[in-house]
Amino acid sequence: MANARFDAVRVAIAKQPVEAEHPGEETSSYYGCNVFTRATMRKYLDEDTRRAIYETIEKGATLDRSIADHVAVGMKRWALDMGATHYTHWFQPLTGGTAEKHDSFADPRGKDESIEKFSGKLLCQQEPDASSFPSGGLRNTFEARGYTAWDPSSPAFIMGDTLCIPTVFISYTGEALDYKTPLLRSDAAVTKAASELLDIMGYKNEVTHSYLGWEQEYFLVDKELYAARPDLVLTERTLLGHVSSKNQQLEDHYFASIPPRVLEFMKDLEFECYRMGIPAKTRHNEVAPNQFEIAPVYEAANLAIDHNLLLMSIMKTIAERHGFEVLFHEKPFAGVNGSGKHCNWSIGTESGIGLMSPGKTDKENLRFLCFMANTLKAVHDNNALLKASVMTATNAHRLGANEAPPAIISSFLGTQVHAAFEELLESKDMVKIAGKKGYSLGIPQVPELSVDNTDRNRTSPFAFTGNRFEFRAVGSSANCSGPITILNTILAYQLEKFTEAVRTRIASGAEPLQAVLDETRETYRACQTICFDGNGYSDEWKAEAKARGLDCESSVPVCMDEYTSEHTLEVFTSTRVLTEVELESRKEVLWEIYCKKLGIEARTLSDLVNNHIIPVAIKYQNILLQNVRALKEIYGDDFQRMAASQMDLIRCISDDIAAAESEIDKLDAICARLDEMGEGRDAAVLYHDEVVPLVERIRSHVDSLELMVDDEMWPLPKYRELLFIH
């Protein structure tokens, strides 16, 4: 009996928790031991080679190819000492994940000997097959050549027996085929633009970078129960399933005690993170049952994103070791909160100046208001593009629900920062920004609280949180290079325009700081409509946002049009982050992925309904019919009264079976038509407009059957089995 089997699986797993295997010594004794860190470089590289590497990492200097040979020798020696036998270029194709092709250090010579070989050429450049990855038309299937090139700013690391070298991935003709290339270009663009503005403000020779602290949300489910759900296996979300009578409504899971099995998983995960140099800091239960979060310390954006992708890979391995499957889908379960990957983004200097941090002097606060106003203007002018960067087939289930930011981009500033800008609009002088304040709770044992200069607004997709912006709309499965690249690029473009306007004021006789102040005032005045501190979930806000001229489009494929709008092309080509051809290719890739994911969901649902659900529903219906016949034999003419409730149940089951079968036929017909259309915009729009609603209607009928069919006969683990770990 199905349900009894699922319960037995849960009990068996719960009785055999896996103890995390890691040493009890302090984290510092093994932190980064699998990474080619500076400490490791001091052991394996000479001083001149190290200096060249540091120049590349810190100042973006081009690394001489002759230096690469010296690096390769030291890196190979370290890798062999660590037990590595292979090496790979680790890159980020437009699939959204990572890719790697392993080559052995072994170089067989003659019949009976071999040496270990690794050169600067092999370190710097490799050639994977570019035709087998999404390219959006940049490459034909018969044009296979592409190149990966070493990114020295992200350190090499060892996974298992393989030395992994972070790289960019470009086509034979030079176009970016990955996420890392435009990210690095965008960081260079915002560095240049910010440094030029800082120079005018009296901050000489400051080098800036973008910084990121991500918050990775995820679900855990028992591995055996996961395997019994074809929809989870194939799409990572439940296409069917009635909401459990108990889910998150008691609000008792958030920040509650971590279940012992999960805690062992987290310990093991953190140990692996620290060995890989991933600065994991926070772990806790999230709002939904079986939902959790891990978050690190801030890092340079490029390294932070590499670490996030590495973490997601590690999590899959560790979860399996502990009898779990980890789900990164933004909405694996209907009726409970989905998962995001909140991106806490800022820019700052290498000397430690946070450009989005309020200061203590007028000059520091002018710097703060200046960069804040430019960020808001960039978001205002590109709100449709920023939304497009997070709109996917999977994240669309989460955005706009009462659990996640709405599918309208706005920015929360908080009372004090908002007040400072409003005062700036009315004054020609510099304004004061209140710092942290304290207040007592009136409890002698509790010390005075320090209150930040801004509250938090969980309904805002782009909220200022004291010294950074939290982009909450990013999905948990995403490669956050996409949205971070766009944030860097639109800010770089805006800073260039701002600096040009400031220089015009200075040329007309204004003092530099007064010119910056006056231009900051006008910049904020031009973008006030992007600022909203209220409830982003409310229907009133949706109407107001439309009146303000903000983009309110909710169709994922239509949102993708923004990648090649006239303004987007101007922003990206002028900053040299992406060419028109590269932008067009990304739009095509996103439509293609959207079509493929929804196509897989539709076919999986069709198979589940036809081969799992309807046969069981009919079998149960036959049992009821046999019982009704028996009642008729026993009670004769009175059987109608005795069997009325069963007859109603049989009719309801028949109605849902018939409706589900009819809708499945429609779904199959649409999918057949879509197969002939390809995977471009027209097909993506059809998937959104016709397939998505049809899938939801089919689900409603099957979920209705779940409540009527005998629990022991139901072929799939239900939400109450999937959502609660013991």
Confidence of residue 316 (pLDDT cuts 50, 70, 90): very high
Q: Torsion angle, CA of 653/659/662/665, rounded to 10 degrees?
A: -80
**C-beta of residue 88 within 8 angstroms of C-beta of residue 101:** yes
What pLDDT, on a 0 to 100 scale, did the predictor assign at position 251?
83
Q: Rounded to the nearest 10 degrees, what angle do helices 512-525 and 415-426 cross at? A: 110
What pLDDT, on a 0 to 100 scale, did the predictor assign at position 112?
76
**C-beta of residue 389 within 8 angstroms of C-beta of residue 482:** yes
Confidence of residue 361 (pLDDT cuts 50, 70, 90): confident
Kindly give, in sequence order, each residue whose CB lies less than 8 Å from that of residue 571, ignoring residues fewer than 6 positions away: 382, 489, 490, 493
Task: Give tens-digit pLDDT for 539-593.
Answer: 888 899 999 999 999 999 999 999 999 999 999 999 999 999 999 999 999 999 9
In DSSP terms, 165 is beta-bridged to 89
The pLDDT of residue 12 is above 70: no
The pLDDT of residue 14 is above 80: no
The pLDDT of residue 451 is above 50: no
**C-beta of residue 487 within 8 angstroms of C-beta of residue 468:** no
Name which of 190-204, 239-253, 480-494, 649-663 the model is least confident about.
Answer: 239-253
The pLDDT of residue 18 is above 80: no
Task: Give tens-digit pLDDT for 54-102.
Answer: 888 776 677 777 889 999 999 999 999 999 999 999 999 999 999 999 9
**DSSP three-state, residue 162:** strand
Of 600, 553, 598, 591, the C-alpha closest to 681 is: 591
What pLDDT, on a 0 to 100 scale, did the predictor assign at position 8?
53
What are the CA-CA distances from residue 16 to residues 11, 20, 214, 483 (Å)? 9, 13, 33, 41
Phi, psi angles (nearest 5°) of residue 704: -65, -40
Q: What's the pTM?
A: 0.93
Confidence of residue 23 (pLDDT cuts 50, 70, 90): low
Of 475, 466, 61, 533, the C-alpha closest to 298 is: 466
Q: How much of the chain exceeds pLDDT 70, in percent?
A: 91
Q: How much of the chain exceeds pLDDT 90, in percent?
A: 72
**C-beta of residue 340 within 8 angstroms of C-beta of residue 330:** yes
What pLDDT, on a 0 to 100 scale, did the predictor assign at position 362?
85
**CA 62 remoteness from chain centre:** 31
What pLDDT, on a 0 to 100 scale, did the predictor assign at position 431?
62
Confidence of residue 441 (pLDDT cuts 50, 70, 90): very low
The pLDDT of residue 393 is above 70: yes
d(CA 78, CA 201): 45
Question: Per-residue pLDDT averaged across 436-457, rounded?
Answer: 50
Of 545, 518, 299, the C-alpha closest to 411 is: 545
d(CA 473, CA 340): 7
d(CA 414, CA 412): 6
The pLDDT of residue 706 is above 50: yes
What pLDDT, on a 0 to 100 scale, did the predictor assign at position 1?
41
d(CA 223, CA 325): 5
What pLDDT, on a 0 to 100 scale, did the predictor assign at position 20?
52
Q: What angle do CA 551, 553, 555 make, to 5 degrees?
A: 155
**More reliable by pLDDT, 7 or 92:** 92
The pLDDT of residue 9 is above 70: no
Of 341, 306, 345, 583, the C-alpha closest to 487 is: 345
Confidence of residue 17 (pLDDT cuts 50, 70, 90): low
Residue 105 tokens, joined? 């250090």
The DSSP string of 346-367 is EEEETTS-BTTS--SSHHHHHH
What pLDDT, on a 0 to 100 scale, did the predictor assign at position 450?
44
